[in-house]
Amino acid sequence: MTPPPAQASPKITLERSYTANAQDLWELWTTKEGFESWWGPEGFRVEVRKLDLRIGGELHYDMIADAPEQIAAMKSMNMPTSHSVRARFSEITPLKRLEITHIIDFVPGAQAYENRSRVEFFQEGRTVRMVVTVDPHHDPEWTQRASMGWESQLRKLPAALAARG
């Protein structure tokens, strides 16, 4: 599997607004405690080994299956229940903009490549609008899921939701 050139990828943008200050949101993205409190996918927890918040600084964490069904699923696929993920901070404008570049080096047969996720915060009165821009093709979690065969499950999700009305 060879990743396509960057321009081949559709970017996805997600937006949410919070009645909170930008500092609180910023900390959830840029501190060990904050990042660990939400980043890991369902059934996994994240343990940050290194978080060096400066341009080019390393973000290194372990993604650890911790729900019994996830542990069982990983074992049944002969996959380790924990894997190491490496990234670096490629852009930092405190309280305004952060870019994390993940290094995807776990796809068998593919050369290591990079994925950038960007988050921006816009103060609007008493609320902060958070805008996340991501590239699905190169996303580490998505890639991991695809390599574990979860993609087909996820693709069924929209239909399943529609069926529930």
Partner 1 sequence: MHMDAFQTLADRTRRQIVETLKRGEQQVNDIVAALDIHQSGVSRHLHILLDAGFVRVRPEGQLRLYSLRAEPFREMEAWLTGYHALWESRLDRFDAALERKLATRTAQRNRKEKKA
Q: Is 43 in the site for partner 1 (CB under 8 A)?
A: no
**CB-facing half-sphere around the CA of 47: CA atoms within 13 A:** 8
Tell me how crowded residue 121 is: count the other CB atoms within 10 A of its CB: 22
* Residue 41 interacts with partner 1 (CB under 8 A): yes or no: yes
Min CB(39)–partner 1 separation in Å? 7
* 157 vs 165: CA distance, rounded Å: 13
Rounded Cα distance, 36 and 44, in Å: 10
DSSP secondary structure, 86-123, as one string: EEEEEEEETTTEEEEEEEE--STTS--EEEEEEEEEEE
Q: Is 163 in the site for partner 1 (CB under 8 A)?
A: no
Q: Would you say 8 or 163 has its CB closer to partner 1?
A: 8
Element (H, E) at 2: none
Contact status: 12 vs partner 1 (CB under 8 A):
yes
Which of residues 1 and 125 has its CB atom nearest to partner 1 in the complex?
1
> Which string of DSSP letters, residue by residue, matches 69-89?
HHHHHHHHTT--SEEEEEEEE
Binding residue (CB under 8 A) for partner 1 from 78, 155, 163, 164:
155
Q: Which is nearer to partner 1, 42 or 124 (CB)?
A: 42
- For the bound state, the minimum distance from the C-beta of residue 19 to partner 1, rounded and expressed in Å, comes to 9
Q: Which residues are at the interface with partner 1 (CB under 8 A)? A: 1-5, 7-10, 12, 14, 16, 18, 20, 24-25, 27-28, 34, 37-39, 41-42, 132, 134, 136-137, 139, 141-142, 145, 151, 154-155, 157-159
